Chains A and B, each alone.
Chain A
Amino acid sequence: GAVVSQHPSRVICKSGTSVKIECRSLDFQATTMFWYRQFPKKSLMLMATSNEGSKATYEQGVEKDKFLINHASLTLSTLTVTSAHPEDSSFYICSAPGTSGRKQYFGPGTRLTVT
């Protein structure tokens, strides 16, 4: 079946630095990918829709200058958390729709800790 990977799986960074998280569709192409954020014991909150070849679409309340999204190719989307602060610590998950478009394939997530 379709597989989505994320790298890194865990990252610890200092306040004020930037962190890049990669999301790859391993055996299929994805013109659209989605980025979610999950706080401990909470649900997944959609942050943005990543579109290959065009700007990402951000959900209300998500700072586009803070969470930079680049969909460089049909198999790769990146999320860069700029000038990270401790409150950005979270679990970030990406997903991509499969060939039919209906089913989403989720990555394993990236645990970000900002100290």
Chain B
Amino acid sequence: AQSVSQHNHHVILSEAASLELGCNYSYGGTVNLFWYVQYPGQHLQLLLKYFSGDPLVKGIKGFEAEFIKSKFSFNLRKPSVQWSDTAEYFCAVNAGTSYDKVIFGPGTSLSVIP
């Protein structure tokens, strides 16, 4: 069965600092990988996804993530965070076969200080 771990439970950064949130998954087969964001009081939004091809994927709001197959990792990055990036970030994975359930990591709470 798939599982997802995220390195940090809570991250606090100042505005303009660079961000990297770690994500590792365990699954032996082909996977699809996702990062979701949940702003306070709002529902999930997809930041970016990896299905195949270029392991460096770019998403919305200046976020990007790199899939490193050998490390079973899919870390999220942003060069310069803003106060509005304060939110919960969830890494998620599903098996490469279609229509499979998505398993979420425990989440990382990001607080950006103005």
Q: Are A106 and B99 touching (Cβ within 8 A)?
A: no
Write the residues of chain B forming the contact surface with A, with a CB cutoff of 8 angstroms: 32, 34, 43-44, 46, 49, 51, 88, 90, 94, 97-107, 109
Cα separation A44 to B44 with both chains bound (whole Å) = 10
Q: Pick 20 A–B contacts, CB within 8 A, sort by A.
A: A34-B101, A36-B104, A41-B88, A42-B107, A43-B105, A44-B44, A44-B90, A44-B104, A46-B101, A46-B104, A93-B44, A95-B102, A97-B100, A100-B98, A102-B32, A103-B46, A103-B49, A104-B102, A106-B43, A107-B43
Q: Which of B51, B105, B109 contacts A102 (CB 8 A)?
A: B51
Is A49 an interface position by the 8 A CB rule?
Answer: yes
Chain A minimum-CB-distance residue to B97: A101
Question: In the assembled complex, which residues on chain A have CB atoms less than 8 Å from the CB atom of B99?
Answer: 31-32, 97, 101
Please report A residues at the B interface, Cβ cutoff 8 Å.
31-32, 34, 36, 41-46, 49, 93, 95, 97, 100-104, 106-109
Bound state CA distance, A97 and B101, in angstroms? 9
Closest to B44 in A: A106
Asked whether A102 lies within 8 Å of B98 as measured between CB atoms, the reply is yes
Q: Which 6 A-B pairs give the minimum distances between C-beta atoms?
A: A101-B98, A101-B99, A108-B43, A44-B104, A43-B107, A97-B99
* Chain A residue nearest to B45 in the complex (CB): A106
Query: How far is B65's CA from A43's CA once the two chains are assembled, in angstroms?
Result: 20
How far apart are A24's CB and chain B's nearest CB, in angstroms?
A: 15
Determine whether the beta carbon of B98 is less than 8 Å from that of A93: no
